[in-house]
Amino acid sequence: MLAVLGPADESEPPEELIFRDEIDGEPVQAIGSGAFADCYGLDGQLTLPEGLQAIEKRVFYNCDQLTGSLVIPEGVSDIGSNAFESCSSLTSLSLPESLEGIEDCVFQGCSGLTGQLAIPDGVTRIGAGAFADCSGFTGTPTIPYAIMAIGQRAFAGCTGLSGTVTINAEADVSEDAFADTQVTVVRQ
């Protein structure tokens, strides 16, 4: 069950999201496409429910008032396109080991995300623009050697990223995947 808490006057946006782990004894397994897109008034920490398996496309698109650490729970295997795009007030990101794919533009424009970017070993594909313009990330990104695809401009504009990333020679990596960064890609 999802409870949205806010003022009684429905003309104002809700202030906080509270996710429950279950609805009528059944686990919450997915958050549907566009569920909270463009909810400008949502602010504060976003806590996703344990047991979540899917985050569909545009779920929190343009929710630029969500703040704090974003922890994607263990069990999520794929994050849909544009799911967190332009959530520019989020400050850190933790991805689960269960994650297999990051679709197009998932975190594009999340410029408030800071620290080192660590992609879990199970991720085999990173979509176009997935982390574009996440200028707060610093250091050498950790990307699995076994990655099979990195889309166009996946990390473009992540100006704080630097260092050398070693990727398997068979991976389909767009030439501009790391545009406007200081990252060097070595294929082996």
Both 67 and 136 in a single domain? no
1/30 Cα distance (integer angstroms): 11
Of 49, 82, 113, the position where a domain reaches its end is 113
Both 69 and 142 in a single domain? no
φ/ψ (deg, to 5) at 26: -100, 140
Sequence-ordered list of residues with C-beta below 8 angstroms from that of 163, at least 6 positions apart, any chain: 139, 140, 141, 182, 183, 184
**Which residue segment(s) compose the domain that 28 sits in?**
1-113
Could you read off the pLDDT of 148-162 as tens digits, one per residue?
A: 999 999 999 999 999
User: What are the beta bridge partners of residue 79?
Assistant: 55, 102
Answer whether residue 108 is part of any domain.
yes
Look up the CATH number of the domain holding residue 23.
Answer: 3.80.10.10
Sequence-ordered list of residues with C-beta below 8 angstroms from that of 49, at least 6 positions apart, any chain: 19, 20, 21, 27, 28, 73
46/65 Cα distance (integer angstroms): 10
Could you read off the pLDDT of 110-151 as tens digits, one per residue?
A: 999 999 999 999 999 999 999 999 999 999 999 999 899 999
Q: In what order do the strands lie in the sheet with 90-94?
A: 44-45, 66-71, 90-94
121/161 Cα distance (integer angstroms): 19
Could you read off the pLDDT of 6-61 as tens digits, one per residue?
A: 333 445 555 556 676 777 787 778 888 998 899 877 778 888 888 889 999 999 99
Both 88 and 165 in a single domain? no
